[in-house]
């Protein structure tokens, strides 16, 4: 089941080109950056973003959006921290955090799919609400002191690959299988292209959307746990701004914000490009202001290029 | 179609390369040199503020640059998250560790988030110092201490009490802090509450964040004065909230009725101190702090400073006392009308 | 036809007005100081920048677009304004610097507009990229310093009064008045609403939709400059971090005020009332004297307000005849 040819292919080629260009430059200016050791260690900065980019791609494919992922992360982290602090077993705390994440996503989904409020509005409200609840119940206090077995989830590696990286690869494989080998892949694009027609064609649009947003919330819960394991802290301010970073990566990867067009490969490349650009700018020039300028410009230039070279119709 | 893709690819490759090389020319911060073993030619010292862009930290960095120039063998990198996000700070520490930095000096916005990265840096052979605010004791070699949270909190409350005057300073006070999750402000607040017990007639009625936005600090202070008409004092405990709060008091015409004190660089508060809206500004010599930090870092990296030492010589600051794992800068400075003109930072 | 549309839109404004008055009444009952003229005036002054920019943003959203870069625009404009007027920097005459700031704001809006229309890029992406880039540029320009010596001639915009009212308040009211007039009385305004409510029909009718969008974005940039000039000059120090989160406030005000994110519907008045209502939440908590812990729930309460407002309108709309969903 192939998505319409041409446009997605070009964007991925462009990304690949930019990536190669970046790596060539890095090779010339800072060869240490390209060593396997450096790359693997630096990769630990991006797994949460990568993970969240997966459900976000699917949501944006259906012409939706989820601005609340960062705040959901905070809420899940706080739930985890609170219950851990209360003395409950770690596994239970983690399960609860995931359940809260799924519930938060489901609430978004209910508003979007059943009540039919625009996803931008819903997730704008929950962006404030979820973080607000996290601040309220934690009073800004950080929770830490998690056991080493839990910390392994974020800090450990298996066969040289960091555990969060393995989790991401598993998730990627799972989502890719679902999208490519089940009708779901086409369904999502169809919903994005023309929701009304999809409904009339008998697609379970409402149910699908509900599952997508729930999945996004659940993924935010996983990301929260990974962060807590990696940084040994669960606090109400984590994940701030994460939603914009995720959307940047997904859109950079060629997924159209209007829905209907996009690939997982593109998202992976988008994440990779953002990550490598940021890390390299940080490595070579170590100036945070520069990082902002470069990341923003990258997004603008890349999308502009793709848009100008597309056929006229949007 | 294929031709388009190919030429596009070429064009963008060139564009990307040009962009990145071009960016390199405009930056002014020194590029990191390659690994230097301790005692070798160039020592790489990385200075990490809580939030890059705040004038407070910039003045510390100025002192640090001075020290680097004097020492001659220090390659100083000053960078940090412009939004103060602890995660970004932790990532920076990890990057510097990978590049083989000799010394990493951290002002932690969130000690527990930064601890794993700091510990990993030490494990890989870098010397880790904290400055301006302390981290977890096992995550750093030394803490360059200008003042403990207790001293800061105490100085703030004492200054307000003195300004209120009288044997038993009386009145309602409020605190305008940075954000609700700012670890350091929260510590100071805890210490302030402790010190307030010494003045039973001073009543803390509200703690409000300004989310690092001067206009919010302004608005919050305005509201506080109206909601509590008998409010006597406001603490602005960040360099963003202090000027905003003072401005609100001034514009409300309540100069002298509502006292404002807090932490800030003297330049930001000069006008308010001169017109009497603010009687005391609490801080310390930030340039000296940066200066001392770099000297300490270099001394550690070159072996001049060994564990167990009780003093060490820090350039123009002379002999500095070391108490356990704290390198002491000196005292808190209180800027008043009498002395604020002398300082320019 | 017009009467029906007016009625439909007015319902949301009534809803927001009702919520606004209800909140004033409840909080005022608990703490009468909330209703004092001085406090109401101060609240209006605090809301002024959001109101000013929301006027432009309403038109942008009516046309089916969005601009989340206004906060970063404000940061850059404040930085430039400070650097130009400060005696220890460029030390330009205030009038020239203000003109330059207005020009720069207009230019930034124009760039957004051009990228959206002729660049054919989605506005959320354009303004997301600009949000990041402009913030980086403003930080790089300011280079970690505070600008603490703003001349009195500049500060007058923030703290001066005109006929007894603060200049920022007067400016906000003038901007609202002019934008309402533009939207309701001029052909340009009518075209904007037409283009927004049915882009396909507008295109077939020959409406210059790209030019309308260009206008809306440019206007928003200009208004952001105006807001910066009357707001940031209230303070004696220009620092890094100006305008963080500002775009969220403006978009929320516009959306909660009844402007549909899918375009075509929404009023300036609704945005205005909504900006006032949302601006009250923070002050409200202080006046209610709920104590220190309540502060931690402030953001949650804001989110709740938004949800309630949106839900209420949505449910109200369910009872009206459903519009045909745009293809």
Interface contact flag, B213 C241, Cβ < 8 Å: yes
pLDDT of residue A141: 85
Contacts of B57 in chain C (CB under 8 A): 144
Mutating which of C239, C245, C247, C296 best tests the B interface, going by the most B Cβ atoms within 10 A? C239
Domain locations in chain C as residue ranges: 2-319
pLDDT of residue B16: 58
User: Model confidence over C117-163: pLDDT tens digits?
Assistant: 999 999 999 999 999 999 999 999 999 888 988 999 999 999 899 98
> Token digits for B115?
């601890």
Mean pLDDT (whole number) for C164-177: 94
- Indicate the SS3 state at residue A269: helix
pLDDT of residue C320: 53
- Tell the residue number behind the tokens 């963008």, with chain if given: B12
With DSSP H G I counted as helix, E B as strand and the rest as coil, what are the percentages for chain A, rounded to 5?
75, 5, 20
Interface contact flag, B27 A287, Cβ < 8 Å: yes
Question: Residue C262, Cβ neighbours under 10 Å: how many?
Answer: 15
- Indicate the SS3 state at residue B203: strand
Inter-residue contact A208 to A191 (CB < 8 Å): yes
Mean pLDDT (whole number) for B38-57: 85
> pLDDT band for position C324 (50/70/90)?
very low
Does any domain span residue A36?
Answer: no
Range of the domain at A198: 41-238
Q: How far apart are CA C84 and CA C72, in angstroms?
A: 18
Contacts of B207 in chain C (CB under 8 A): 292, 295
pLDDT of residue A247: 94
Q: In sequence order, what are the residues at sequence separation of 6 or more whose Cβ sits closer than 8 angstroms to the Cβ of residue B308?
A: none
Neighbouring chains of A at 3+ CB pairs under 8 Å are B, C
Residue B342 has pLDDT above 50, yes or no: yes
Mutating which of B88, B109, B226, B243 best tests the C interface, going by the most C Cβ atoms within 10 A? B226
Contacts of C36 in chain B (CB under 8 A): 226
Interface contact flag, B180 C295, Cβ < 8 Å: yes
Q: How far apart are CA B271 and CA A66, in angstroms?
A: 46
User: Is B226 touching C (CB cutoff 8 A)?
Assistant: yes
Residue B37 has pLDDT above 50, yes or no: no
How far from A205 is each of A185, A199, B299, C261, CA to CA, in Å?
13, 6, 66, 21
Mean pLDDT (whole number) for B2-18: 52
- Tell the residue number behind the tokens 């930019």, with chain if given: A18
The answer to whether the complex's ipTM is over 0.85 is yes
Q: How far is A42 from chain B (nearest CA, A)?
A: 7
Q: Pairing mode, if any, of strands C165-166 and C161-162?
A: antiparallel
Nearest-CB residue to B98 (from A38, A280, A284): A38
Q: How far is B308 from chain C (nearest CA, A)?
A: 37
Interface contact flag, B208 C237, Cβ < 8 Å: no
Mean pLDDT (whole number) for B300-309: 87
Contacts of C262 in chain A (CB under 8 A): 118
**Low-confidence spans in chain A with pLDDT less than 70:** 1-9, 311-314
Q: In sequence order, what are the residues at sequence separation of 6 or more whose Cβ sits closer than 8 angstroms to the Cβ of residue C125?
A: A251, A257, A299, A300, A303
User: Model confidence over C255-280: pLDDT tens digits?
Assistant: 888 888 777 888 899 999 999 988 88
User: Is C152 touching B (CB cutoff 8 A)?
Assistant: no
Mutating which of A7, A223, A230, A231 best tests the B interface, going by the most B Cβ atoms within 10 A? A231
Q: What is the DSSP letter of B228?
A: S
Q: Does domain C2-319 have CATH number 1.10.3470?
A: yes
The residue of chain C with its CA nearest to that of B222 is C42
- Indicate the SS3 state at residue B229: coil
Contacts of B290 in chain C (CB under 8 A): none
> pLDDT band for position B277 (50/70/90)?
very high
Neighbouring chains of B at 3+ CB pairs under 8 Å are A, C
Instruction: List the beta strands (DSSP E) in chain A.
Output: 143-144, 157-158, 161-162, 233-234
Q: How far is C205 from chain A (nearest CA, A)?
A: 18
* Among B residues 28-47, those touching chain C with beta carbons less than 8 Å apart: none
pLDDT of residue C250: 94
> pLDDT band for position B35 (50/70/90)?
very low
Nearest 5 degrees, angle CA B280-CA B286-CA B287?
A: 135
**DSSP state letters, B252-263:** TT-BTTBEEEEE
Inter-residue contact B271 to B260 (CB < 8 Å): no
Q: How far apart are CA C48 and CA C157, in angstroms?
A: 13
Q: How far apart are CA A170 and CA B265, in angstroms?
A: 51
* Helix (H), strand (E) at residue B77: strand B74-78
Query: Does C306 or C192 have the greater pLDDT score?
Result: C192
Q: How far is A77 from chain B (nearest CA, A)?
A: 13
pLDDT of residue C246: 92
Domain total for chain A? 1
Q: In sequence order, what are the residues at sequence separation of 6 or more whose Cβ sits closer than 8 angstroms to the Cβ of residue C245?
A: B211, B213, C71
Mean pLDDT (whole number) for C76-86: 95
Contacts of B10 in chain A (CB under 8 A): 17
Mean pLDDT (whole number) for C4-18: 67
Q: How far apart are CA C244 and CA B324, in angstroms?
A: 41
Inter-residue contact A64 to A119 (CB < 8 Å): yes
Mean pLDDT (whole number) for C178-189: 94
Interface contact flag, A290 B87, Cβ < 8 Å: no
Query: Does B82 or B23 have the greater pLDDT score?
Result: B82
Mean pLDDT (whole number) for B172-189: 87
Q: How far apart are CA B136 and CA B119, in angstroms?
A: 10
- Indicate the SS3 state at residue A86: coil
Mean pLDDT (whole number) for B253-266: 92
User: Model confidence over B110-168: pLDDT tens digits?
Assistant: 888 999 999 999 999 999 999 988 889 999 999 998 888 888 999 999 999 998 888 88
User: Model confidence over B193-209: pLDDT tens digits?
Assistant: 999 999 999 999 989 98
pLDDT of residue A116: 86
pLDDT of residue C106: 98
Q: How far apart are CA C24 and CA A122, in angstroms?
A: 26
The residue of chain C with its CA nearest to that of B249 is C235
- End-to-end CA, chain A: 23
pLDDT of residue B36: 40
Inter-residue contact B130 to B114 (CB < 8 Å): no
Q: How far is B34 from chain A (nearest CA, A)?
A: 9
Q: Which structural domains are found in chain B, ordered by start?
A: 30-146+286-329 (3.40.50.2300), 149-283 (3.40.50.2300)
Contacts of C146 in chain B (CB under 8 A): 55, 239, 265, 267-268
pLDDT of residue C322: 47
With DSSP H G I counted as helix, E B as strand and the rest as coil, what are the percentages for chain B, rounded to 5?
45, 20, 35
User: Is B240 touching C (CB cutoff 8 A)?
Assistant: yes
Inter-residue contact C221 to C112 (CB < 8 Å): yes
Residue B60 has pLDDT above 80, yes or no: yes
Residue B1 has pLDDT above 50, yes or no: no
Longest dimension (CA), chain B: 86
pLDDT of residue A2: 39
pLDDT of residue C47: 93
- Indicate the SS3 state at residue C115: helix
Q: In sequence order, what are the residues at sequence separation of 6 or more whose Cβ sits closer than 8 angstroms to the Cβ of residue C93?
A: none
Buried b (16+ CB within 10 A) or exposed e, A156-165: eeeeeebbbb
pLDDT of residue C325: 41
Percent of chain C residues topping a pLDDT of 90: 56
Interface contact flag, A115 C306, Cβ < 8 Å: no
Percent of chain C residues topping a pLDDT of 70: 92
Compute the residue count for chain B.
345
Does any domain span residue A34?
Answer: no
Neighbour-count burial of A207, counting CB atoms closer than 10 A to its CB (0-12 exposed, 13-18 middle, 19+ buried): exposed
Does any domain span residue A146?
Answer: yes
User: Model confidence over B78-98: pLDDT tens digits?
Assistant: 999 998 889 999 999 999 999
Q: How far apart are CA A125 and CA C113, in angstroms?
A: 27
Interface contact flag, C128 A118, Cβ < 8 Å: no
Q: How far is B186 from chain A (nearest CA, A)?
A: 9
pTM above 0.90, yes or no: no
pLDDT of residue A115: 86
Residue C318 has pLDDT above 80, yes or no: no
The residue of chain C with its CA nearest to that of B266 is C148
Q: How far apart are CA B85 and CA B72, in angstroms?
A: 32
Name the residue among B341, A120, B85 with its Cα closest to residue C122.
Answer: A120
Inter-residue contact C139 to A289 (CB < 8 Å): yes
User: Model confidence over B181-192: pLDDT tens digits?
Assistant: 777 788 899 999
> pLDDT band for position C2 (50/70/90)?
low
């Amino acid at each position: 089941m192939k998505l319409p040819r041409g446009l997605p292919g070009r964007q991925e080629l462009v990304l690949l080109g930019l990536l190669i260009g970046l790596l060539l430059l890095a090779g010339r200016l800072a060869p240490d950056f390209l060593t396997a050791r450096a790359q693997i260690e630096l990769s630990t900065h991006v797994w949460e973003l990568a993970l969240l980019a997966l459900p976000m791609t699917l949501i944006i494919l259906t012409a939706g959006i989820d601005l609340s992922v960062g705040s959901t992360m905070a809420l899940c982290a706080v739930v985890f921290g609170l219950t851990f602090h209360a003395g409950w077993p770690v596994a239970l705390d983690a399960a609860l955090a995931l359940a809260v994440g799924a519930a938060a996503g489901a609430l978004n989904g209910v508003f979007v799919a059943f009540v039919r409020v625009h996803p931008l509005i819903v997730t704008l409200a929950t962006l404030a609400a979820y973080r607000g609840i996290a601040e309220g119940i934690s009073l800004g206090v950080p929770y830490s002191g998690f056991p080493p077995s839990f910390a392994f989830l974020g800090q450990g590696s298996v066969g040289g690959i960091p555990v969060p990286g393995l989790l991401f690869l598993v998730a990627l494989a799972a989502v890719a299988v679902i999208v490519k080998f089940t009708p779901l892949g086409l369904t999502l694009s169809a919903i994005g292209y023309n929701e009304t027609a999809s409904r009339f064609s008998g697609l379970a649009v409402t149910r699908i959307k509900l599952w997508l947003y729930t999945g996004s919330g659940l993924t935010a819960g996983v990301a929260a746990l990974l962060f807590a394991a990696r940084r040994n802290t669960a606090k109400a301010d984590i994940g701030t701004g994460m939603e914009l970073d995720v959307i940047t990566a997904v859109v950079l990867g060629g997924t159209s914000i209007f829905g209907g067009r996009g690939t997982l490969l593109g998202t992976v490349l988008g994440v990779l490009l953002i990550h490598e650009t940021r890390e390299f700018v940080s490595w070579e020039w170590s100036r945070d202001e520069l990082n902002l300028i470069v990341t923003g410009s990258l997004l603008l230039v890349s999308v502009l290029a793709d848009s100008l070279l597309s056929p006229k119709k949007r | 179609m294929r031709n388009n893709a190919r030429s596009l690819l070429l064009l963008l490759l060139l564009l990307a390369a040009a962009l990145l090389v071009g960016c390199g020319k405009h930056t002014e911060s020194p590029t990191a040199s390659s690994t230097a073993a301790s005692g070798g030619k160039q020592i790489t010292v990385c200075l990490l503020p809580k939030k890059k862009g705040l004038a407070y930290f910039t003045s510390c960095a100025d002192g640090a640059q001075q020290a680097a120039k004097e020492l001659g063998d220090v390659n100083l990198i000053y960078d940090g998250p412009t939004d103060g996000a602890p995660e970004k700070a932790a990532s920076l520490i990890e990057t510097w560790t990978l590049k083989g930095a000799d010394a990493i000096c951290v002002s932690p916005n969130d000690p527990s988030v930064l601890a794993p990265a700091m510990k990993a840096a030490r494990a890989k052979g870098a010397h880790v110092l904290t400055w301006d605010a302390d981290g977890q004791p096992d995550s750093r070699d030394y803490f360059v201490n200008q003042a403990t949270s207790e001293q800061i909190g105490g100085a703030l409350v004492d200054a307000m009490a003195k300004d209120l005057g009288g044997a038993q300073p009386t009145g309602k006070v409020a605190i305008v802090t940075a954000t609700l999750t700012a670890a350091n402000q929260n510590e100071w607040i805890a210490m302030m509450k402790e010190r307030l017990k010494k003045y039973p007639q001073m009543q803390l009625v509200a703690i409000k964040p300004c989310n690092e936005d001067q206009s919010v600090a302004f608005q919050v202070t305005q509201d506080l004065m109206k909601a509590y008409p008998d409010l006597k004092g406001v603490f602005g405990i960040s360099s963003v909230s202090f000027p905003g709060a003072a401005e609100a008091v001034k514009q409300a015409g309540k100069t002298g009725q509502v006292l404002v004190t807090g932490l800030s660089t003297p330049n930001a508060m000069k006008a308010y101190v001169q017109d009497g809206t603010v009687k005391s500004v609490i801080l310390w010599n930030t340039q000296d702090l940066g200066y001392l930090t770099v000297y300490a870092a270099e001394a550690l990296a070159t072996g001049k400073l060994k564990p167990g030492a009780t003093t060490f010589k820090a350039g123009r600051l002379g002999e500095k006392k070391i108490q356990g794992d704290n390198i002491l800068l000196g005292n808190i400075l209180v800027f008043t009308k009498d002395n604020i003109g002398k300082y320019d930072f | 036809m017009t009467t029906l549309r007016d009625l439909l839109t007015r319902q949301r404004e009534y809803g927001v007005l009702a919520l606004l008055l209800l909140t004033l009444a409840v909080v005022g009952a608990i703490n009468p100081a909330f209703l004092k003229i001085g406090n109401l005036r101060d609240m209006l002054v605090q809301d002024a920048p959001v109101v000013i920019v929301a006027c432009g943003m309403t038109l942008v959203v009516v046309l089916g677009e969005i601009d989340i870069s206004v906060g970063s625009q404000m940061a850059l404009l404040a930085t430039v304004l400070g650097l130009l007027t400060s005696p220890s920097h460029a030390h330009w005459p205030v009038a020239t610097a203000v003109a330059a700031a207005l020009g720069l704001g207009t230019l930034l809006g124009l760039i957004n507009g051009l990228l959206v229309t002729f660049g054919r890029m989605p506005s959320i992406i354009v303004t997301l990229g600009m949000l990041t880039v402009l913030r980086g540029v403003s930080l790089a320009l300011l280079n970690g310093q505070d600008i603490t010596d703003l001349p009195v001639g500049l500060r007058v915009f923030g703290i001066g009064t005109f006929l007894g009212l603060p200049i920022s308040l007067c400016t906000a009211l003038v901007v609202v008045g002019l934008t309402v007039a533009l939207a309701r009385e001029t052909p340009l305004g009518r075209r904007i609403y037409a283009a927004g409510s049915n882009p396909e029909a507008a295109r077939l009718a020959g409406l210059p939709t790209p030019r309308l969008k260009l206008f809306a974005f440019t206007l928003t940039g200009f208004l952001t400059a105006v807001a910066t000039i009357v707001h940031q000059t209230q303070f004696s120090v220009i620092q890094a971090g100006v305008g963080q989160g500002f775009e969220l406030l403006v978009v929320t005000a516009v959306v909660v005020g009844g402007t549909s994110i899918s375009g075509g519907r929404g009023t300036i008045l609704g945005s205005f009332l909504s900006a006032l209502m949302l601006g009250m939440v923070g002050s409200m908590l202080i006046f209610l004297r709920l104590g220190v812990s309540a502060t931690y729930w402030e953001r949650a309460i804001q989110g709740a307000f938004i949800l309630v407002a949106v839900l209420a309108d949505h449910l109200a709309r369910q009872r009206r005849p459903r519009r045909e969903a745009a293809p």
